[in-house]
Chain A
Amino acid sequence: MKLDINGVVRDIDAPPDMPLLWVIRDLAGLPGTKFGCGMAQCGACTVHLDGQPVRSCVLPVSAVGARKVTTIEGISSDGSHPVQRAWVEADVVQCGYCQSGQIMTAVALLEKRPDPTDADIDAGMSGIVCRCGTYNRVREAIHLASRLKRGNR
């Protein structure tokens, strides 16, 4: 089957029921998307399908169809996306394992809610688990990214 990941259409030889996560990691060779729970509980596997965040660990690859998959590698490889810049400035990461999911979700949140309130962040980001406890700084970075995106800081 054909799969458009980060703008590159790839030929993927995968059983239709294989979760998108493992297709991305083990077949497409893009390890930035992480496995944390396998049941949509932690959000480490979050990718975008046509810009909308989905948990790739519970989505069979056959369900993707022609939709465009974007992974953390597709956000920017040099960290230049405003969300990534805000992440660096707020010194968010600790172990870093959940951060792909945090960033993918924050990017989607800010696309539709350019100036999110704390309640928007609580509602939009609570699916992404961080055991290191970076939540305070994730929140700070989302507000900062909002200002960066709007060219206002």
Chain B
Amino acid sequence: MKRLVLPLCVAFSLPACGDNHPPAVSPVAPNAAGLAAFETVREVFQHPRCQNCHPAGDAPLQGDDSHVHAQNVLRGKDGHGNIGAECTTCHGPANPPSAFGAHVPPGNVKGWHMPTEDLKLVFVGLTPRALCEQIKDPARNGGKDMPALRTHLDDPLVVWGWAPGFGRAPVSVPRDRFLAAWETWAGAGAPCPGDATASR
């Protein structure tokens, strides 16, 4: 069913895409589809695999319950941890082999890290609207426009969310569905939910 629906949404949303000024009264269908797609995007961003490195405070989170990372690990100025306890002190260049057991720090070819201290890109605890607006705001997302954001989704650290290593649940939404939802949302003009939407 989804496969049938998605291209339709994209098709519907295309006209809105080229329009920098959303019409006063949005066409109901594309906006609703865009918002529905954003909900999928949000679900991914606020999944523990993604949000654990995007906390509000300076300590990363860990686990499916997003508890504060053990060992007083902190982001540090550049997001690579503090001296003596850099992220890469424990997180290697790849997920360790399954023979190393569960709960072993995962790894990444890009070098494990968090957003920097002055550009925190918080995912945790934000309302869908606040999250949405932050993602799109170049002043808060590292100067990225929508195409650049889409490119960022192929960043190895982002892709890791779907291959998080032995004993760790991947992001709940399959990656292809996430990317399709992203396209839908972006295609719909990246609409953000209203204020009324409850905090997640």
The answer to whether A and B touch directly, with their CB atoms under 8 angstroms apart, is yes
List residues of chain A with CB under 8 Å of any chain B CB: 17, 19, 38-41, 46, 52-55, 58-60, 63, 105-106, 108-109, 112-113, 120, 122-127
Q: How many A-B residue pairs have CB under 8 A?
A: 80
Task: Give the CA-CA distance A40 to B97 in the complex, in Å.
Answer: 14
Q: Is the CB of B70 within 8 A of A17?
A: no
Size of the B side of the interface (Cβ < 8 Å), in residues, is 25
Q: Is the CB of A54 within 8 A of B89?
A: yes
> Other than the known A58-B96, A120-B83, what 8 A-B pairs have Cβ atoms closer than 8 Å?
A39-B101, A52-B86, A52-B88, A53-B86, A59-B96, A108-B83, A124-B82, A126-B73
Task: Give the CA-CA distance A140 to B100 in the complex, in Å.
Answer: 35
Q: Which chain B residue has the least Cβ–Cβ distance from A122?
A: B72
Cβ-neighbour of A105 out of B84, B92, B94 (below 8 A): B84
Could you give, for residues 85-113 of chain B, a 1 whenever the CB lies within 8 Å of some chain A CB and a 0 otherwise?
11011101110110111011100000000
Interface presence of B26 (CB below 8 A): no
Q: Is the CB of A63 within 8 A of B94?
A: yes
Task: Give the CA-CA distance A112 to B77 in the complex, in Å.
Answer: 14
Question: Which residues of chain B are near A55, meaning CB under 8 Å?
Answer: 89-90, 105
Question: Which residues of chain A are near B85, meaning CB under 8 Å?
Answer: 105, 123-127
Q: Is the CB of B70 within 8 A of A41?
A: yes
Cβ-neighbour of A123 out of B84, B90, B94, B105 (below 8 A): B84
Q: Which 7 A-B pairs have the closest CB atoms?
A: A124-B84, A126-B72, A123-B82, A109-B84, A40-B90, A112-B83, A127-B71
Question: Which residues of chain A are near B92, meaning CB under 8 Å?
Answer: 54, 58-60, 63
Task: Give the CA-CA distance A17 to B166 in the complex, in Å.
Answer: 14
Q: Is the CB of A53 within 8 A of B89?
A: yes
Question: Which residues of chain B are near A40, meaning CB under 8 Å?
Answer: 90, 104-105
Q: Which chain B residue has the least Cβ–Cβ distance from A40?
A: B90
The smallest C-beta distance from B87 to any residue of chain A, in angstroms, reads: 11
Task: Give the CA-CA distance A34 to B96 in the complex, in Å.
Answer: 19
Interface presence of B181 (CB below 8 A): no
Question: Which residues of chain B are near A59, meaning CB under 8 Å?
Answer: 92, 96
Identify 30 residue pairs between A and B in the complex whose beta-carbon atoms are under 8 Å apart, listed by A's number: A17-B97, A39-B104, A40-B104, A40-B105, A41-B70, A53-B84, A54-B90, A55-B89, A55-B105, A58-B96, A58-B105, A59-B92, A60-B96, A60-B97, A63-B92, A105-B85, A109-B83, A112-B83, A113-B83, A123-B72, A123-B74, A123-B76, A123-B82, A123-B83, A124-B84, A124-B85, A125-B85, A126-B85, A127-B71, A127-B90
Question: Which residues of chain B are near A127, meaning CB under 8 Å?
Answer: 71, 73, 84-85, 89-90
The smallest C-beta distance from A119 to any residue of chain B, in angstroms, reads: 9
